[in-house]
Amino acid sequence: MKVGIIGATGYTGEELLKCLARHGGVEVAFVSSEQRAGVSLKEVFPHLPAYADLTLCTTEESTRIDVDLVFTCLPAGESVKWGKRFLDKGSKLIDLGSDFRFRSADMYTKWYHIEHPHPELLPDAVYGLTEWHRDDIAHATIVGNPGCYPTSVLLPLLPFVAAGLVADAPIIIDAKSGVSGAGKKATDVTHYVSVNENVTPYKTGRTHRHVGEMEKELRAVGGKQTIVFTPHLVPLTRGMLSTIYVQLAEEKSRDDLFEVLANTYSAEPFVHILTDRMPDMRVAQNSNLCFISLQKVAEANCLILCSAIDNLGKGASTQAVQNMNVMLGFAETAGLL
């Protein structure tokens, strides 16, 4: 099987390459980059000797190469433009950008403030939160890979909302992300001295566009709650921890609450429940794993959920490979353990 990567020199492209080098079942047929076309991948990523023979091409050039599946790692509005070229040729598509996370073009516009270039493709797009949409993903030609924050929030939260256990009060989400989530571009925000010895809240309340993605999935399982979301930039390269506070709709014991998680995830290879402690960010680093735990605060009838993922792993590239495995018929864990 052949795959290609559009926008290969960013952090998510690099992680895809690392992961696919261990996969064994796919060949990377091309890697594209507008800014560095013509440069050997060996020069860009000397630490990935498996690809020493690949040279970056322009995305236009890449469209002349046939692949079974293409990964797009581009900003909103860009992924779909190039992706369509490959879809028209019969390739499957996994977008690590944000162009296929909504089926509604209006919702896309509401949160991304641009018109969707090809709204006619949206009805075919499946949301790639693998554990919740596995069957649809298996038959999909287009998968919108979830955002990092939504992945870290939905995996712990959906089981409880789907079970009707969450009251209609606002759901408070306080999340912490490593700097790789802010992308490779050098800005005042990503300057070492800005980040180091600092924690910075940003796009607080309902201003981060991932809020729409989260609420869309909540609605899909019957939840009506409003999300209040505060992401924080923390001084580390990769990792994501979400602390989620919900009001319980009814009295539930701690054991009952853990059983909700176990019922959903006990057979899942990548979602692990910790019963003795809250996860730290570390346990999920450099992996496709998601760790979840919970605490019930009886005095406040409150449930605290906490999850850890790697923002470039389960939050991006390794979840994309997990989806690829499902779409192309590989073992779901291929390249991921």
Indicate which residues carry an active-site annotation. Answer: 148
Instruction: Based on the shown chain and the rule CB under 8 A, indicate whether residue 297 belongs to the binding site for a second copy.
Output: yes
What is the chain's Cα-based Rg? 20
User: Could you tell me the smallest distance in angstroms from the CB atom of residue 228 to a second copy?
Assistant: 5
| Near a second copy by CB under 8 A: residue from 11, 102, 112, 127 | 11
Instruction: List binders of a second copy among 305-334 (CB under 8 A).
Output: 306
Query: Whose CA is closest to 26, among 336, 320, 328?
Result: 328
Does the protein bind a second copy through residue 266 (CB under 8 A)?
no
As a whole number of angstroms, the distance between CA 314 and CA 152 comes to 8
Q: Which is nearer to a second copy, 141 or 301 (CB)?
A: 301
Of 27, 255, 266, 300, which lies in the binding site for a second copy, with binding defined by CB under 8 A?
Answer: 300
Q: Are 115 and 109 in contact (CB under 8 A)?
A: yes
> Under a CB-based contact definition with an 8 Å cutoff, are residues 253 and 170 in contact?
no
**For a second copy, the closer CB: 123 or 196:** 196
Task: Please identify, among the stretches 70-78, 91-99, 226-234, 322-330, the one whose residues bind a second copy according to the rule CB under 8 A.
Answer: 226-234
Instruction: Based on the shown chain and the rule CB under 8 A, indicate whether residue 35 belongs to the binding site for a second copy.
Output: no
Selected from 180, 317, 323, 325, the binder of a second copy by CB under 8 A is 180
CB of 40 to a second copy, least distance (A): 11
The count of C-alpha atoms lying within 13 angstroms of the C-alpha of 90, restricted to the half-sphere facing its C-beta, is 5
* Beta-bridge mates of residue 245: 172, 304
Of residues 150, 115, 114, 118, the one with CA closest to residue 132: 150
From candidates 38, 64, 164, 200, binder to a second copy by CB under 8 A: 200
Contacts (CB under 8 A) with a second copy, residues 113-172: 169-170, 172
Contacts of a second copy in 72-101 (CB under 8 A):
none
Handedness of CA 2, 6, 9, 15 (dihedral sign): negative
295 binding a second copy? (CB under 8 A): yes
Q: How far is the CB of 252 from a second copy (least distance, A)?
A: 15
Q: From the list 34, 136, 259, 280, which residue makes contact with a second copy (rule: CB under 8 A)?
A: 280
Binding residues for a second copy, total number by CB under 8 A: 75
CA distances from residue 276 to 72, 113, 173, 179, 281 in whole angstroms, order as listed: 39, 43, 22, 29, 16
**Cβ atoms of 286 and 313 closer than 8 Å:** yes
| Sheet architecture: strand order including 92-95 | 27-32, 2-6, 69-72, 92-95, 142-144, 125-127
Window of 56-64, 111-119, 148-156, 296-304 that interacts with a second copy by CB under 8 A: 296-304
Residue 204 binds a second copy, judged by CB under 8 A: yes
- The yes or no reply on residue 286 touching a second copy (CB under 8 A) is yes
Cross-strand pairs, 32: 6, 57
174 contributes a contact to a second copy by CB under 8 A: yes
